Amino acid sequence: MRRAGVLFLFISLLFNGCLPFAIIFQNWSGALGTVSNGILSDSIILNESPEIRFDRKVNRHAGTPQLVEMLKSASLEMDKQFGVKLTVGDMSAPLGGKISGHKSHRTGLDGDIAFFIIDTGKKVINGNLNDKFDRFGVSLNKNGKVMMFDYEKNWALVETLINDTRWRVQWIFVSSGVKSAMLKWALINKKDIDTVYRASYILHQPKGADPHMDHFHVRIYCPQNKTQNGCTQLPPIWPWEKEAEPPPVKKDFTDAELIKMATEGLE
Ligand SMILES: [Zn+2]
């Protein structure tokens, strides 16, 4: 039965770009496959709000319910604590799959967030995802203006992201320079030591990719919801997150076969 489905999928792909998704989505929900080789069904679209702004208008603000809830909650918290907006960059396309400029962001588990920044007079500047900050927390933008990394707000954001069990953060990709400056700031300012410990794992400069000197890239674990068990969890599972490992996925064919068919050539 499933083999026939695969054959139909293959034929459909030749004649109709959208139909394969409909077939796959009869059997799966949420993130399907891996963050760099997968798709997304039943996505939730994040909208701009009094607490959220987008850095650009693109059709890339879809995610799993958990990712969208995380971003909304973080934005409410930042508004409550500091009266500032969260600037959100690319998430996933509404159906997931490949989007230009990213190796991952394919299954609704990844979202880019701008740093909170201030000028030399401590005035808040709208976040963007382009200005690069060095290990001293300083950036010189293209107009020659000096901007400072706002440690207090950025740490509060990280605390909010990694301390809530409604979603579980696996990675916050950021440059090694920004990471060490943040951890040092948190220790000097006597922030919660458990959070600093977890952040020392989760904040990470990815290997073989953009170092992320200009934004946070947050990735959450596969949701544990049983209807979403097409999500392939990549390691690591942090010591405090052992329960994040989803149950084994039952299927007739490999994720690679399925996903290759569904995503090849799509943008
Ligand atoms: Zn990213």
User: Residue 220 is part of which domain span?
Assistant: 2-263
3-class secondary-structure state, position 118: strand
Beta bridge partners of 92: 62
**pLDDT of the residue at 261:** 47
Strands 215-220 and 110-114: antiparallel
235 CA to centre of ligand 1 in angstroms:
18
* Beta carbons of 246 and 222 less than 8 angstroms apart: yes
pLDDT in tens, 193-221: 999 999 999 999 998 888 999 999 999 99
182 CA to centre of ligand 1 in angstroms:
19
pLDDT in tens, 24-44: 556 677 898 899 999 998 899
Q: How confident is the model at residue 52 (pLDDT cuts 50, 70, 90)?
A: very high
224 CA to centre of ligand 1 in angstroms:
23
Instruction: Label residue 4 left, alpha or beta by phi (over 0 means left) and psi (-120 to 50 means alpha).
Output: alpha
User: In terms of pLDDT, which residue wins out, 255 or 70?
Assistant: 70
44 CA to centre of ligand 1 in angstroms:
18
6 CA to centre of ligand 1 in angstroms:
31
Return the CATH number at 67: 3.30.1380.10
Q: How far is CA 137 from CA 115, 121, 175, in A?
A: 11, 15, 11
Q: How confident is the model at residue 255 (pLDDT cuts 50, 70, 90)?
A: low
87 CA to centre of ligand 1 in angstroms:
13
Q: How far is CA 33 from CA 164, 172, 260, in A?
A: 25, 20, 10
* Beta carbons of 66 and 167 less than 8 angstroms apart: yes
With a cut of 70, say whether residue 70 has pLDDT above it. Answer: yes
**pLDDT of the residue at 8:** 43
1 CA to centre of ligand 1 in angstroms:
38
State how many domains the chain has. Answer: 1
118 CA to centre of ligand 1 in angstroms:
22
129 CA to centre of ligand 1 in angstroms:
10
2 CA to centre of ligand 1 in angstroms:
34
